[in-house]
């Protein structure tokens, strides 16, 4: 906990009114989208400049105060939750786009730039920022970098990491580092930029990021396909990938569709109901591409892998089909889901899902289990919904027990216990299922280099 005198000192380091201690601010800024840990920060500070961030970090070192970075607070692993009297450092006021270079196709962003703002900026320049997910309207670039956010276009464009040309960071000891200087080619030793991507704020703060942009896609077209069982989805992926450059390949179960249709604001794709659905997207650059998509669809129907399907004919239809997938997370958040975000190599997905499904069916017979995710890149979201009658603590305790069996299976497949949501606090105790002891020791040693006093987001990724 910080003392009143320490907070008075902190107030002198930032603009007037930019340290908040009222309960509403502490509650709002002390948490992300997870509901497992109660927020309990001491204060929230809003720097406006890099120098102010440095001053805050020096103050924290001097007074041994833990800092928690806060962006759009849309995280799903409690990496931005301050549950132990930490000071939250919010980047809400460092939210400007500072520069654009059309030759480099790059944009210099402050960390608080909202993802959708960067996407819109790119579009206005006739370009494209391809990292996309349902929380793009609130998530911030700094947070995306902290988790190496993925989303729905990874199959074609990769994760956030692929789009970071350069970073300015303030390390846990208050030093300002300029990493990679936006170069495409740079063979001068360790690429420290990469260490800060996905570090969940445990090494320092990202205070500026140069993000790359891409050619804007043309005539994006989506198909939603009804499949009779899970095993049919992978041959469908394989068939379409053989003929088209897909920009997305997602899946969701019938239970997810039930929840989406119950909202009343998303049209059903077709009458047919099957246990699983695939959503794929491609650029219909010309008639030949659209023709190849339809021919592949017919082939999949002939093989019995697909029972019904629809292809978007307009932008409105494209948006409506995407809502079937994109609205799932927010729609089910009402039931306090326990979220698993696991991945294996694409070829192993069918066997892996069958094994996990068997565990879930035996250990969660009374719970609602929803599958969806980015199956084209091997990332499955397994969501267990809390029954209304069960207390939150009891529910999470039961999920923690089943987790052990789920994560043993992940380990057996050499998979990841967190594909894109990060480790934070929710997956911290399971890190050993995806990383060896030697690896974790290296990670801790790296942290000690950048954050010798352990003030940067302690207790995230690994326990203190």
Residue from 65, 94, 131, 134 in contact with ligand MLT (CB under 6 A): 134
Q: How far is the CB of 151 from ligand MLT (least distance, A)?
A: 7
Report how many residues bind ligand MLT under the rule CB under 6 A.
6
Q: How far is the CB of 82 from ligand MLT (least distance, A)?
A: 22
Residue 29 interacts with ligand MLT (CB under 6 A)?
Answer: no
Q: Which is nearer to ligand MLT, 138 or 453 (CB)?
A: 138
Binding mask 367-406 for ligand MLT (x = CB under 6 A): --------------x-------------------------
Residues 163-222 that bind ligand MLT (CB under 6 A): none
Q: What is d(CA 122, CA 102) in angstroms, rounded to the nearest whole number?
A: 10
Query: Among 324, 307, 316, which Cα is nearest to 258's?
Result: 324
Q: How far is the CB of 64 from ligand MLT (least distance, A)?
A: 35
Q: Which is nearer to ligand MLT, 48 or 339 (CB)?
A: 339
Q: How far is the CB of 124 from ligand MLT (least distance, A)?
A: 26
| Contact in structure between 45 and 64 (CB atoms under 8 Å) | no
Residue in this structure with the two tokens 């303030």, named with its chain if needed: 170
Q: Which is nearer to ligand MLT, 147 or 457 (CB)?
A: 147
**Residue 323, helix vs strand vs coil:** helix
Binding mask 284-323 for ligand MLT (x = CB under 6 A): ----------------------------------------
The first and second tokens of residue 66, run together, are 């833990």
Q: Which is nearer to ligand MLT, 339 or 398 (CB)?
A: 339
Q: Which is nearer to ligand MLT, 11 or 323 (CB)?
A: 323
Residue from 36, 52, 95, 329 in contact with ligand MLT (CB under 6 A): 329
| Contact in structure between 214 and 127 (CB atoms under 8 Å) | yes
Q: Which is nearer to ligand MLT, 133 or 240 (CB)?
A: 133
| Contact in structure between 166 and 262 (CB atoms under 8 Å) | no
Q: How far is the CB of 381 from ligand MLT (least distance, A)?
A: 4
The sign of the dihedral angle between the CA atoms of 145, 146, 148, 150 is negative
**Residue 46, helix vs strand vs coil:** coil
Q: What does residue 313 show for φ and ψ, rounded to 5 degrees? A: -115, -5
Q: What is d(CA 90, CA 133) in angstroms, rounded to the nearest whole number?
A: 22
Report CA-CA distances (Å) from 228 to 48, 238, 276, 301, 371.
Answer: 54, 17, 7, 11, 15
| Contact in structure between 34 and 426 (CB atoms under 8 Å) | yes
Q: Which is nearer to ligand MLT, 277 or 450 (CB)?
A: 277
Query: Among 55, 67, 59, 82, which Cα is nearest to 6's?
Result: 59
Residues 240-259 that bind ligand MLT (CB under 6 A): none
Q: How far is the CB of 248 from ligand MLT (least distance, A)?
A: 11
The first and second tokens of residue 170, run together, are 């303030």
DSSP 163: G
Q: What is d(CA 151, CA 330) in angstroms, rounded to the nearest whole number?
A: 14
Q: How far is the CB of 95 from ligand MLT (least distance, A)?
A: 23
Closest-CB residue for ligand MLT? Answer: 329
Q: What is d(CA 395, CA 426) in angstroms, rounded to the nearest whole number?
A: 14
Residues 332-361 that bind ligand MLT (CB under 6 A): 339
Site residues, ligand MLT (CB under 6 A): 133-134, 328-329, 339, 381
């Amino acid at each position: 906990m910080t003392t009143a005198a320490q907070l008075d000192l902190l107030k002198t380091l930032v603009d007037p009114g930019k340290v908040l201690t009222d309960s509403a601010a502490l509650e709002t800024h002390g948490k992300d989208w997870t509901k497992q840990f109660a927020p309990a920060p001491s204060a929230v500070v809003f720097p406006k400049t890099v120098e102010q961030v440095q001053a805050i970090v020096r103050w924290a070192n001097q007074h041994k105060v833990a800092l928690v970075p806060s962006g759009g607070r849309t995280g799903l692993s409690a990496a931005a939750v301050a549950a132990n009297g930490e000071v939250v450092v919010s980047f809400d006021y460092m939210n400007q786009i500072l520069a654009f270079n059309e030759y480099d196709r790059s944009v210099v962003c402050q960390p608080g730039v909202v993802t959708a703002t960067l996407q819109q900026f790119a579009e206005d320049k006739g370009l494209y920022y391809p990292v996309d997910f349902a929380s793009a309207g609130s998530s911030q670039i700094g947070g995306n970098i902290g988790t190496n956010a993925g989303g729905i276009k990874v199959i074609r464009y990769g994760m956030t990491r692929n789009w970071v040309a350069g970073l300015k960071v303030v390390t846990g000891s208050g030093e300002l580092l300029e990493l990679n200087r936006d170069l495409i080619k740079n063979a001068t030793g360790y690429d420290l930029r990469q260490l800060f991507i996905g570090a969940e704020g445990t090494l320092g703060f990202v205070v500026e990021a140069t993000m790359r942009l891409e050619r804007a896609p043309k005539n994006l077209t989506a198909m939603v396909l009804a499949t009779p069982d899970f095993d049919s989805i992978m041959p469908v992926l394989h068939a379409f990938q053989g003929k088209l450059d897909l920009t997305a390949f997602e899946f969701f179960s019938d239970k997810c569709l039930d929840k989406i249709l119950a909202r009343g604001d998303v049209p059903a794709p077709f009458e047919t109901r099957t246990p699983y659905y695939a959503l794929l997207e491609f650029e219909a650059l010309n008639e030949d591409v659209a023709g190849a998509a339809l021919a592949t669809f017919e082939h999949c129907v002939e093989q019995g892998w697909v029972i019904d399907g629809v292809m978007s004919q307009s932008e409105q239809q494209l948006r409506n089909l995407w809502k079937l997938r994109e609205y799932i997370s927010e729609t089910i958040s009402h039931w306090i889901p326990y979220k698993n975000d696991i991945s294996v190599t694409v070829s192993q997905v069918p066997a892996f899902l069958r094994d996990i499904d068997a565990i879930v069916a035996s250990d969660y017979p009374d719970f609602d289990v929803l599958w969806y995710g980015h199956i084209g890149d091997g990332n499955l979201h397994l969501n267990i919904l809390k029954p209304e009658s069960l207390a939150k603590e009891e529910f999470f305790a039961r999920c923690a027990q089943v987790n052990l069996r789920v994560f043993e299976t992940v380990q057996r497949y050499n998979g990841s216990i967190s594909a894109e949501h990060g480790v934070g606090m929710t997956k911290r105790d399971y890190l050993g299922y995806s990383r060896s002891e030697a690896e974790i020791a290296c990670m801790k040693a790296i942290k000690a280099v950048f954050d010798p006093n352990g003030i940067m987001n302690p207790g995230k990724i690994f326990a203190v």
